[in-house]
Structure 1
Amino acid sequence: MVVTVMVRVVTQESTTGQESAAHDHSIHDHVAPSAPVVAQASNTSATPSHDHSAHDHSAHDHGTQVSAIGQAGDPAKVERVIHVTMDDTMRYEPSSINVKEGETVLLIVENKGQLKHELTLGDPAFLKEHAAQMLKFPNMEHNDPNMVALEAGAKGEIIWQFTQAGTVDFACLQPGHFEAGMRGAVTVKKDS
């Protein structure tokens, strides 16, 4: 049996000289391949996983978006620890968090569900766009400081400095979870 698989092949030189299995959003965008190349695979029924080296990553800069919501925090400067749980009801507990402008927070995130979940900090447009990309490419792997993806029963953490007063949203971008309402917000209050 021969299965035809659509793949787009793009070569990309690494500026660091290091290859990483993790996903760095600061160097690419999630545009669906526009010029697929037909390849053949034999005797396979597995769905190919999403490989970020196989599509254009030149236009979408998550680094700019990240700075608008704050920045990765210095572990030595953590001022407070906040525990957040997530589960298969597609909800966070708590879903509303208050911090002070400039505060560095350690978010300890626990997945109490049976499905994979994540917590990603961002603005509404970024979260909506990335959730749509996750629907197209459900096997995306991430290694960004503003997010943590966890398998069932796992714990992880985000150390984040909230540098600007306002609202920083968070959501689970696993396919269908954002659309099911798995969202929350951090209210960043001016430090007076």
Structure 2
Amino acid sequence: LKEIGLEEGEPFIVFRPPEEKAAYLSSLRSMNLVDLMKFVVSKGVKVVLFPRYFDQRKAAERLEGVIIPKRALDTLSLYSYSSLIITGGGTMAREGSMLGVPSISLFPLDYPLYVNDYLEKKGFPIYRFRSYEEALPLISEILESPESYRINTKPLLAELESPLAPIKYSLEELDCIC
């Protein structure tokens, strides 16, 4: 936290903007990410931004209360101290929710996000919205009382199958093929 200018207990979110330039999204309106960051900062909460593109970085550099890490960080540790994770992808939201941190995935298409749906069904604090405007009420609620949205995920994680056995089996099968 100190490396990026934050103190323990200081409220912040982790934000990774949605993909904007992929061909499969070319017909969709871009989300106003600056408005989302301004909204979060207006609640007295800082934004740790992991931009996807140079133009996202440039737009955010002018905003008060937005921190853009200069190098790679231990994101799992960062998540655990954050109030909320907002991401346009799935990985950060999934990782954060499995740590018990409320996590929002902004994905504008009407495709199912099977892993997210599974985690939500199991009770992990993961939410999906198609636009940040749809997510604003929940974002506001979480920022008002982040601890009431955090959960202890140890019992949920204990119910999941360890991936080690299937990985070991697959590696052994590959060894037989080679």
Relative to the length of structure 1, the TM-score reads 0.22
More helix by share: 2
Q: Which has the higher contact order (CA 8 A, sep 6+)?
A: 1
